[in-house]
Amino acid sequence: MSSWLQIPGVRPLLALLVVGLGVVGSRYVVRLLGRPVARQFKRQSVAQTVLRLIRLAVVLIALGGAARILGLEVGDLVLSVTVFSAVLGIVLAPIVGSIINGVFVLADQPYEIGDLIELEDGRRAFVDEITINYTKLLTLDNTSLVIPNSSIRDRLVTNFSAEDERVRLGLDVLVTYESDTEAARQHMRRAAAAEAEVVEGGPDIRIGGARYPAVPTVHRADFADDGVLLRLRYWVKKPYRIATIESHIRDRIWDAVADTDAVEFAYPHRHLVFDDTSGTLDATVDSRAEREIEAHAERRAGDADSSGTPSETQDMPTGGAEPTTDEMSGSDE
């Protein structure tokens, strides 16, 4: 056997064969242990992480066997790995940080695969995959987001699917002070209850130590400048169609208000009132402005004289001199 291994080129080929068998064998090991691991760990993300580690362990064992075939000792391998890790430690620091944060994400359980979450920028997405290094999200616009665990762990993440999927929503409507607010409140409650995805009633919904009515409710939220602010509060069974549900409820409220004269939507109005107590308007012109007006009039008169057009101050004919009073009377002194 040893003489056979001395043939040139045999050891590298045999090492590659062992590595290939290790990669293929890791897949079969994962398939074999998939169901037992899934039964052992209820969280899908943790089960997937454990299976990845098992697969990695099988591949590492195959790499160790290939190294032995090539004649590398354990001490050489440890020294090589130590030097290699020290060299790449600084370069791979962000990846190592993401891996460490991925362990905390799996341990803290802020979200699970299939949960609907909302990021700080308002984007909502389903958790598609959780790994040691990153979290993969699928947005409601059918786009994929891959966020490193070191980044997503520092963000504010809202989980809509944690334990209870019911979500409480609010809708503000501003009506005029002349409107029948009680009729407006009834229209708003009916508009919410008519939606299939809205909880119509039942026992109170308990959140922590507080209890909230399950039926849609309307409160007078504020006496605003332009009208009375009514706030509709209702519960949605699932948080997957929030924008569509809100649009349907607004449409029903709009149609209900359009069919009645008792309720009117409010919008900003401004009335300007002037009376005897409003003061007087100062329309005086100062001396400087007066001089500017006179100078402008003189310039216009000069322009008219230069153009040959008779001006207001040119009343005498240009053909001869005007006779004096003495010449007209014919007296000789």
Q: Is the pLDDT of residue 87 over 90?
A: no
The candidate with the shortest Cα–Cα distance to 37, out of 57, 51, 18, is: 51
Measured on CA atoms in the order 233, 238, 242, 246, is the torsion positive or negative?
A: negative
Give the CATH number of the domain where residue 127 resides: 2.30.30.60
The answer to the question of residue 97 being in a domain is: no
Do 175 and 232 share a domain, yes or no? yes
The candidate with the shortest Cα–Cα distance to 180, out of 221, 220, 233, is: 220
List pLDDT tens digits, range 203-239: 888 887 888 899 999 999 999 988 999 999 999 998 8
pLDDT for 232: 96
Write out the two tokens for 150. Answer: 């070191």
The answer to the question of residue 270 being in a domain is: no
Do 155 and 81 share a domain, yes or no? no
Do 76 and 128 share a domain, yes or no? no
Do 172 and 245 share a domain, yes or no? yes
Write out the two tokens for 221. Answer: 């939220």
Q: How many residues does the chain have?
A: 333
Do 13 and 85 share a domain, yes or no? yes
Do 205 and 252 share a domain, yes or no? yes
The answer to the question of residue 254 being in a domain is: yes
Give the CATH number of the domain where residue 69 resides: 1.10.287
**Residue 328's pLDDT band (cuts 50, 70, 90):** very low
Do 65 and 144 share a domain, yes or no? no
Where in the sequence is the domain holding 57, given as residue range(s)? 9-91
The answer to the question of residue 280 being in a domain is: no
pLDDT for 107: 73
The answer to the question of residue 188 being in a domain is: yes
**Residue 257's pLDDT band (cuts 50, 70, 90):** very high
The answer to the question of residue 79 being in a domain is: yes
The candidate with the shortest Cα–Cα distance to 154, out of 119, 106, 116, is: 119
The DSSP bridge partners found for residue 124 are 118
CA distances for 241 relative to 166, 216, 223, 252, angstroms: 12, 18, 31, 17
The angle, 0 to 180 degrees and rounded to 10, between the axes of the packed helices 93-108 and 44-69 is: 140
Do 141 and 181 share a domain, yes or no? no
**Residue 308's pLDDT band (cuts 50, 70, 90):** low
Among residues 258, 292, 326, the one where a domain terminates is 258
Write out the two tokens for 157. Answer: 């993440």
| Number of folded domains that form the chain | 3
Q: Is the pLDDT of residue 142 over 70?
A: yes
Write out the two tokens for 239. Answer: 């948080």
Write out the two tokens for 238. Answer: 């699932």
Which distant-in-sequence residues (6+ apart) come within 8 Å of 158 by Cβ? 117, 118
Q: Which of the residue ranges 158-172, 245-259, 283-297, 310-324 has the most confident prediction, judged by mean pLDDT?
A: 245-259
Residue type, 115: D
**CA dist., res. 253 & res. 40, Å (int):** 51
In terms of DSSP H, where are the helices of 109-153?
149-152
**Residue 305's pLDDT band (cuts 50, 70, 90):** low
**Do 54 and 32 contact (CB within 8 A), yes or no?**
no
